[in-house]
Amino acid sequence: MAGGPPLPLRSAPGALGTLRWCYQIAAGVIDFVIVYDRARRVWTLHGGLVAPNAFTLTQTPLDFVTPATKGGAAQRWRVVSITVRDNRLSATLDPGP
């Protein structure tokens, strides 16, 4: 990304991103934050899960989709790895090309 990535990308309070497998919603992700670790060159997503579907969360490819911003479009990130514990999510993301 030209000029380096914005750090960190936080959701607006109450904004709901989604984890998707194809067109199926695997879970909602609330109060999410996406952080870029410059040293490791890794994007990480953290947030709370809403209505998770255990089966769909294990499918691949899984994508994280941010809500569309006012006057903008939603962003889609490929999920590389995912960890769920106590309805909290931690995932490594690939922003793609």
CATH number of the domain to which 65 belongs = 2.40.10
Q: Tell me how far apart the alpha carbons of residues 96 and 1 are, in angstroms, rounded to a whole number.
A: 11
- Which domain does 85 fall in, by range? 9-94
First to last CA, the chain: 9
What is the number of structural domains in the chain?
1
In a domain, 80, yes or no: yes
In terms of Cα–Cα distance, which of 72, 68, 82 is closest to 15?
Answer: 68
pLDDT tens sequence across 39-83: 888 999 999 999 989 999 999 999 999 887 777 788 889 999 999
Residues facing residue 46 across a β-bridge: 33, 90
**Res 1: pLDDT:** 42
Whether the pLDDT of residue 95 is over 50: the answer is yes
In a domain, 18, yes or no: yes
Q: How many residues does this entry show for the chain? A: 97
In a domain, 2, yes or no: no
pLDDT tens sequence across 5-41: 555 666 666 678 999 999 899 999 998 888 888 888 8
In a domain, 4, yes or no: no
Taking the CA atoms of the chain, what radius of gyration do you get in angstroms?
13
In a domain, 19, yes or no: yes
**Res 36: pLDDT:** 87
In a domain, 74, yes or no: yes
pTM: 0.82
